[in-house]
């Protein structure tokens, strides 16, 4: 059955190479047909151009297996680098977001707390004065403006 279909398709494809005729009838109308025109019509045979071939001297050179493999490795390396760059951007964005959150919390604590205590090198609790507090508030504002969009 498969062979019958194949033979049928081959026979039907023979018509694909038929000629195209252009003819003008008695009324002056132009007709295109694959059948021969009537005897009283003026006929002109039309040749259908085939697909344009590559320009002479510019034939695409086949790449060897080694060249194709090198191109593939280069493409894979570029893809891997792009993936690494994307991961790095995501990590930096996460770090920046965390820094923004921390600096906002520090600023909020410095602005809202009546007294701020810190610890010195000996481990003793020391309450910071207003000038130091104001300086830390300015540093926290700079951090918020740097890390937060």
Residue 106 included in any domain = yes
Residue 72 structural domain: 67-147
Instruction: Report pLDDT digits (tens) over 61-74.
Output: 688 899 999 999 99
What are the two backbone dihedrals, phi and then psi, of residue 36, each rounded to the nearest 5 degrees? Answer: -65, 145
Cα 35 to Cα 39: distance, rounded to the nearest angstrom: 12
Residue 57 included in any domain = no
Nearest to 19 by CA among 4, 31, 33: 33
Asked if 56 and 32 touch (Cβ cutoff 8 Å), the reply is: no
Same domain, 38 and 72: no
| pLDDT for the residue 3 | 72
Same domain, 131 and 76: yes
What is this structure's pTM?
Answer: 0.46
Regions of the chain where pLDDT drops below 70: 1, 4, 8-9, 11-19, 41-61
């Amino acid at each position: 059955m498969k062979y019958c279909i194949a033979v049928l398709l081959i026979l039907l494809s023979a018509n694909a190479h038929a000629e195209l005729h252009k003819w003008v009838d008695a009324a002056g109308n132009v007709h295109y047909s694959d059948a021969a025109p009537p005897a009283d019509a003026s006929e002109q045979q039309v040749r259908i151009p085939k697909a344009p071939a590559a320009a002479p001297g510019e034939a695409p050179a086949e790449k060897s297996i080694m060249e194709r493999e090198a191109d593939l490795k280069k493409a894979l390396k570029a893809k891997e680098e792009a993936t690494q760059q994307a991961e790095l951007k995501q990590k930096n964005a996460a770090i920046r977001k965390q820094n923004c959150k921390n600096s906002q919390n520090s600023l909020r604590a410095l602005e809202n707390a009546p007294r701020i205590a810190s610890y010195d090198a000996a481990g003793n609790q020391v309450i910071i004065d207003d000038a130091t507090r104001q300086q830390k508030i300015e540093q926290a504002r700079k951090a918020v403006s740097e890390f937060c969009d």
